[in-house]
Amino acid sequence: MINQQSAIKPSDTRSKGVENTQNKTVPEKVMKMNAELPENPKAASGQMTIAPATTCTSLGSIDLQELKKQCPLKVLMKRMGLSKYAKKSCCSPFREEEKASWGIFEKDGHWFWKDHGTGDHGDEIDFLARHFKMDARSNFQELLERYAGYAQQPDDDQDVMIKSKKPVANKEKPDCSGFHRGNELEIQRVSQTRNIKQEALEWAQDRGVLMFGTWYPFGVYGITDSKGKAMALRRLDGKMFPAGGDNGERKAHTLKNSVIDWPIGIIEAKDCDRILLLEGVPDFLAAHQVIMDENAKDKVAPVCMLAAGVDIGSEGLQFFKGKQVRIVAHVDKAGKEAAAKWQKQLLAAGSGSVAIVDLSKVQVPNGVKIKDLNEFLPYHNPTNRLCVKKCSLVA
């Protein structure tokens, strides 16, 4: 029988750095998280005020002990998809073994884990650190953020994954309430992390396809359109969404009830004869810069498919009829297969013409290989314009 009570020692060095915050409202490191954002020179003069909920690191109200009450170790492990290891005695989740040497237990109202194979032990933060191969002290800020994300997730999380290949049949729309136009700092953050001009992002906002907000409790930006059938999110800090339930770690997250085969932006393209069809959030936003730089805003519209693994849904497919479409494919096997599939669909639906842009043709110094349109932006020039009638990059 595993002696769980021996797991906690008075000399636990990590508890000195983190557990002593139990009687504080907010750990000091969390209070400093907003320092990641660039300073706003206008805020001091009162020209612009930013509500905490709109910033990308609005974690000042996080209390570690409240998280432990709301999402104790056993619940945390379930939401991480590790419920089979949330037992008093079992094999370790961190290595392959045949005999039980690991377990979790409760003591004085708190949950802990103990690994008798290595002697390691700790609480929820330590578990996250071990799982993600991070240091509980130096990475405490990020671990706390991930913990808060798991704590906010419902146990029956049914959110649609971006990689799902089958659209979810439902009559409800994703809940986009609480999302808003980006403030200056949020626009700057996306511009810096994605290397997209602020003017292009502002144009996307004006078109109603780019929004900002918070999600469990990360600062995010997302794309949607006037139909509101789908919304895909990315974190403002560029990091992954943590795993939870059936969802693994992922770069993008689609809101529950999103119709993933809906072409986002197709309604906004009704007055344009030509369409650039993209895959994914970054390329969709990057296309706004390409179109703007080529002075084609009144002629060409960007439209986005959320994943390579889905067909264009029949409801959205009808709006491509008569349009000239250029598919800007990702430079990988999945991207090329998706482009060929969409081309066949669009031609059958009555599109005027459908061509596939091959970004591998772009001449890049030092042998750098471009993966997608977002990476193409620094090399966009008059010789490889995408919106002209004769495009040198068309396959």
Q: What is the pLDDT of residues 102-122, one digit of tens each?
A: 999 999 999 999 999 899 999
What pLDDT shows up at residue 8?
39
Confidence tier at 98 by pLDDT (50, 70, 90): confident
Residue 51 lies in a domain: no
What pLDDT shows up at residue 171?
61
Q: Are residues 219 and 302 in the same domain?
A: yes
What would the mean pLDDT of 14-25 be, rounded to a whole number?
37
Residue 44 lies in a domain: no
* Strand-strand pairing, 274-279 and 324-328: parallel
Range picked from 53-57, 83-87, 161-165, 301-305 for highest mean pLDDT: 301-305
What is the model's pTM?
0.63
Q: Are residues 124 and 200 in the same domain?
A: no
CA distance 282 to 285: 5
> Cα-atom radius of gyration of the chain, to the nearest Å?
24
Q: Residue 244: which domain range? A: 184-384
Give me the chain's average pLDDT, please: 81
Residue 163 lies in a domain: no
Residue 124 lies in a domain: yes
Residue 74 lies in a domain: yes
What pLDDT shows up at residue 280?
97
**Number of domains forming the structure of the chain:** 2
What pLDDT shows up at residue 24?
34
CA distance 235 to 220: 4
Q: Are residues 188 and 103 in the same domain?
A: no
Q: Are residues 240 and 324 in the same domain?
A: yes
Q: Are residues 262 and 332 in the same domain?
A: yes
Q: Are residues 216 and 134 in the same domain?
A: no
Residue 57 lies in a domain: no
- Provide the 8-state DSSP code for 289: H
What pLDDT shows up at residue 192?
95
Confidence check: pLDDT of 378 > 80:
yes
Q: Are residues 148 and 227 in the same domain?
A: no
Residue 101 lies in a domain: yes
Q: Are residues 119 and 189 in the same domain?
A: no
Residue 159 lies in a domain: no
Q: Are residues 332 and 272 in the same domain?
A: yes
